[in-house]
Amino acid sequence: MQRDQIRNLISILDLSVDEIDSLIRVANDIDQNPEKYAECCRHKQLATLFFEPSTRTRLSFESAMLSLGGSVLGFSSANSSSAAKGESVSDTVRTVGNYADIIAMRHPKEGAPMIASRHTTVPIINAGDGGHYHPTQTLTDLLTISRKKGRLSNMTIGLCGDLKFGRTVHSLIEATLRYEGIRYILISPEELRLPEYMIEELTKAGAEFQEVTDLEAAMPELDILYMTRIQKERFFNEEDYLRLKDIYILTPDKLANAKADLSILHPLPRVNEISVKVDEDPRACYFYQTLCGKQIRMALILFLLGLTPKD
* Separation of alpha carbons 224 and 267, rounded Å: 13
**E-state strands within the chain:** 45-50, 71-75, 102-107, 124-129, 155-160, 182-187, 208-212, 224-227, 263-265
| Residue 283 phi, psi (nearest 5) | -85, -10
Q: Which is nearer to ligand CP, 224 or 268 (CB)?
A: 268
Write the DSSP string, 168-211.
HHHHHHHHHTTSTTEEEEEE--GGGPPPHHHHHHHHHTT-EEEE
Q: Which of 48, 120, 137, 176 binds ligand CP (CB under 6 A)?
A: 137
Among 16, 55, 80, 257, binds ligand CP (CB under 6 A): 55
Contact yes or no for 2/165 (Cβ under 8 A): no
Q: Is 270 in the site for ligand CP (CB under 6 A)?
A: no
- Tell me which stretch binds ligand CP (CB under 6 A): 75-83, 226-234, 264-272, 299-307: 264-272
Residue 134 falls in the annotated catalytic set: yes
Binding of ligand CP by 138 (CB under 6 A): no
Which one of 8, 48, 57, 295 is in contact with ligand CP (CB under 6 A)?
57
Q: Is 255 helix (H, G, I), strand (E, B) or coil?
A: helix
Q: Is position 106 annotated as part of the catalytic site?
A: yes
Radius of gyration over every alpha carbon of the chain, rounded to an integer in angstroms = 19
3-state secondary structure of 41: coil
Q: Which of 58, 106, 167, 266 is catalytic?
A: 106
Helix, strand, coil percentages for the chain (3-state, nearest 5): 45, 15, 40
d(CA 298, CA 54): 18
Q: Minimal distance in Å, beta carbon 55 to ligand CP? A: 4
Sole window of 107-115, 151-159, 267-275, 303-311 interacting with ligand CP (rule: CB under 6 A): 267-275
Site membership for ligand CP, residue 267 (CB under 6 A): yes
Is residue 144 near ligand CP by the rule CB under 6 A? no
In angstroms, give the least distance from the CB of 155 to ligand CP.
Answer: 22
Indicate the residue type of 13: L
Phi, psi dihedrals of residue 21, rounded to the nearest 5°: -60, -40
Instruction: Name which of 207, 61, 236 is nearest 131 in CA terms.
Output: 236
Q: Which x/- pattern, by CB under 6 A, does the window 81-120 give for ligand CP?
A: ----------------------------------------
- The answer to the question of residue 282 lying near ligand CP (CB under 6 A) is no
Give yes or no: 277 in active site: no
Pairing state between β 224-227 and 263-265: parallel
Q: Which is nearer to ligand CP, 37 or 50 (CB)?
A: 50
Exactly one of 44, 58, 132, 134 is catalytic; name it: 134
Q: Which is nearer to ligand CP, 105 or 258 (CB)?
A: 105
Considering 48, 57, 168, 228, which one is annotated as catalytic? 57
CB of 158 to ligand CP, least distance (A): 18
Count other C-beta atoms under 10 Å from residue 261's C-beta: 10
Site string for ligand CP, 35-54 (x = CB under 6 A): -------------------x
Rule CB under 6 A: choose which of 34, 220, 252, 269 binds ligand CP: 269
Size of the site for ligand CP (CB under 6 A): 9
Residues taking part in catalysis: 56-57, 85, 106, 134
Q: Which residues of this protein are in contact with ligand CP, per CB under 6 A? A: 54-57, 128, 137, 267-269
